[in-house]
Amino acid sequence: MGRSETTAVEGLNLQELKRMTVSQLVKLAKELGISGTSGLRKQELIFRILEGQAQKNGLLFGEGVLEVLPDGFGFLRSPTYNYLPGPDDIYVSPSQIKRFGLKTGDTVSGQIRPPKEGEKYFALLKVEAINFESPEVARERIHFDNLTPLYPDERIVLETAPDNLSMRVMDLITPIGKGQRGLIVAPPRTGKTVLLQNIANSVTTNHPEIYLIVLLVGERPEEVTDMQRSVKGEVVSSTFDEPPQRHVQVAEIVIEKAKRLVECKRDVVILLDSITRLTRAYNALVPSSGRVLSGGIEANALDKPKKIFGTARNIEEGGSLTIIATALIET
């Protein structure tokens, strides 16, 4: 590759890359010496190219979901570690947060630098993209609470293969629309998790434009591994051996991430397993009010899970958030 070609590749920004076709992006990735691009989605290809571009210039490329702390600065948490604070988190300064109007839940990617002497964390140098859009587009978005909610008007088709009868039955009896709230209510050990797995695979197969998040709260570690291996979307978990605070933190950052994506007119589906265990986690954390409902649940403990479930909606301005949750009975 000649000198002028190299300069042209290095000068590409996110918007220019988004205008390219997948075949053009694959060719560009090969020019940058990036391997393993076959089978990647367009979005993943773009970020591999941006990463390769940054490395060619001697810089590092990082991505994560922002958590803004009360002091005004924030950190980019990694979905790989289920948004747990870790030593490889990326520091985001208060000035960057104000400049780009960043909020908790924003997926931020850009050039980063290693920690200097006396520093503990990597730091964000240049913001390349916010929620997979250019920073200029993200700055003009409307806050989630100010968007206009509507009834679902676009269907999510679940049927894939002729032998997948459960999805065919769901399509016929309980069709799901973009922006739907749904509960799968059943006793334990009746196949709710398998049904969620089938829904997840149907969504990724039939609707590649939908951003899928599977949120597992209070599940067994082996179930998490099984879900990660059988589902193509993002799987976020807090297993049963973790404290209630962790269950709540994971659920809240996932909901914030989904809200930020909807603000950018994306369609998001969250599959939550289970809302019962999430409610129990909130129940363990809320102060006692003296009003106890059946099952030993504090009356106040239901407020937050209700708010999370109620976040699902179809948006008039574009985008939608769909939440399908499992609820346990007879436990």
Tens-digit pLDDT profile for residues 43-88:
778 777 877 776 777 677 788 899 999 998 999 998 878 888 877 7
Whether the predicted pLDDT of 258 surpasses 60:
yes
Strands 181-186 and 320-328: parallel
**Structure-token pair, residue 108:** 């931020």
CATH topology of domain 1-56: 1.10.720
Average pLDDT over residues 185-199: 87
Please, what is the average pLDDT of the chain? Answer: 85
Q: How would you class 2 by CB atoms within 10 Å of its CB: exposed for 0-12, middle for 13-18, buried for 19 or more?
A: exposed
E strands, the chain, are 60-68, 74-77, 90-92, 107-113, 122-130, 149-150, 155-156, 176-177, 181-186, 211-219, 234-239, 267-273, 313-315, 320-328
Give the pLDDT score at 18. 67
Residues 6+ apart with CB under 8 A from 145: none
Cβ count within 10 A of residue 87: 8
Give the tens place of pLDDT for each residue, 159-174.
988 888 999 999 999 9
Instruction: Say whether pLDDT at 148 is over 90.
Output: yes
**Mean pLDDT, residues 100-119:** 86
Q: Determine the Cα–Cα distance for residues 321 and 272; give it in Å rounded to an integer.
A: 13
Q: Which CATH architecture has domain 146-328?
A: 3-Layer(aba) Sandwich (3.40)
pLDDT at 315 over 50: yes
In this predicted structure, what is the pLDDT of residue 13? Answer: 58
The predicted model scores a pTM of 0.81
Query: What pLDDT is attached to residue 1?
Result: 39
Other CB atoms within 10 Å distance of the CB of residue 283 = 20
- The residue length of the chain stands at 331
- What is the dotted CATH code of the domain comprising 59-140? 2.40.50.140
Domain boundaries, the chain: 1-56, 59-140, 146-328
pLDDT at 10: 47
Distance CA 174, CA 49 (A): 41
CB 219 within 8 A of CB 256: no
